[in-house]
Amino acid sequence: MKTRHVALKQAPDGMPSLNDFQIIEAELPDLKPGEALIENLYMSVDPYMRGMMRAGASDPPAPLSGGAVGRVVRSRLDGLPEGCVVLTGSGWREHFITDSAGHERVYELSAPLSAYLGVLGMPGFTAWYGLNRIGRPQAGETLVVSAGAGAVGSLVGQLGKRAGCRVVGVVGSEEKRRYALETLGYDAALNWRKGGLGAALSEACPEGIDIYFENVGGALLEAVLDRINFGARIPVCGMISQYNLKEPEPGPSNLFQLIGRRAEMKGYIISDHGELKPQFLEEVAPLVADGSVQYSETISDGLESAPQAFIDLFLGRNIGKMAVKLNDEA
């Protein structure tokens, strides 16, 4: 059977463009004993993928990789029966053959399939771990969330509210600001594109900042560091403002604030903590199912739309999780 995948044509130079990607059609071989054929239903696009593109194109042009949720359509592999739903790292393609039964199974669907790439997937797990294990929220504290309407930030903010924090979201448009206030229930939300970020932070955080969930970096990090309280915690999930720079920006000029304020700033990668995912799902899946946690998705249709969806992440055109629907029956 024929299938398609997305490959790099060349390494992006700065901001990715459509010219950096290509759609490849290929013939899948017949299924052998000990193999299964998986049809991807949804694939994820995430900012971290930009770093994986620095090596450039391969020869022959291999599929890019990333999160996907798919269904086993044919199987000659014990432990992976036909019809089961699996989460894999084999996105950016319509089908693939696997010889591993170790893909993560989704046994009970408590939300649409796409949610297992977002609020109940890697972004949600990232939010839950970073806030709870590094941020350690306490009632009455002030939590500032950068990219506060994104896939990670939107859950951070809601979990922070449930912990009793005053939550301030930093977003990139007026539409996202309204979403953060009206849907996510933030106490305040700032549109960084309007300027005056320092003054806006001071007004929104009159008692300083106890937790800053870092998704952005750059000027926002510098503005926050000037306003952190003693003992502040800064989980560092990502720094999307830096990913497409051709030349690295100088670091914040006020990192010394970490010393004087006895603050903690810690980076992490969620794949290091997979043993905690069942606990995350046990806590968050019921909140999603009963509507206590809200989430949004920006979903494009068809494999050919994946490169533009990826680019749109960096242009701030998504609210919540950005994903690509690969199958009309999904």
Residue located via tokens 């952005």 = 216
With a pLDDT cut of 90, the percent of the chain lying above it is: 94
Q: What is the pLDDT of residue 178?
A: 98
How far is Cα 172 from Cα 167, in angstroms, rounded to an integer?
A: 17
- CB count within 10 Å of CB 264 equals 14
Distance between start and end Cα atoms, the chain: 20
CA angle 43, 321, 90 (to 5 degrees): 20
Q: pLDDT tens digit string along 77-134?
A: 999 999 999 999 999 999 999 999 999 999 878 899 999 999 999 999 999 999 999 9
CA angle 158, 160, 162 (to 5 degrees): 75
Residue located via tokens 């069942």 = 278
Closest CA to 310 of 15, 88, 13, 55: 15
Q: Is the pTM of this model over 0.75?
A: yes
Paired strand residues for 97? 37
Task: Give the pairing of strands 188-191 and 209-213.
Answer: unpaired
| Cβ within 8 Å of residue 184, ≥6 positions away | 148, 149, 154, 157, 158, 169, 294
| Cβ within 8 Å of residue 114, ≥6 positions away | 42, 69, 297, 299, 321, 323, 325, 330
How many residues make up the chain in this entry? 330
* pLDDT band, residue 247 (cuts 50/70/90): confident
Question: How does DSSP assign 141-202, residue by residue?
Answer: -EEEEETTTBTTHHHHHHHHHHTT-EEEEEESSHHHHHHHHHTS--SEEEEGGGS-HHHHHH
Q: What is the pLDDT of residue 330?
A: 67
Half-sphere exposure in the Cβ direction for 108 (13 Å, CA) = 7
- Cis preceding linkage at 60, omega within 30: yes
Average pLDDT over residues 239-256: 89
Q: What is the pLDDT of residue 204?
A: 97
CB 120 within 8 A of CB 300: no
Q: pLDDT tens digit string along 129-187?
A: 999 999 999 999 999 999 999 999 999 999 999 999 999 999 999 999 999 999 999 99
Joined tokens for residue 190: 């700032």
* pLDDT band, residue 261 (cuts 50/70/90): very high
| Cβ within 8 Å of residue 313, ≥6 positions away | 45, 46, 47, 240, 322
Closest CA to 119 of 278, 302, 287, 305: 287
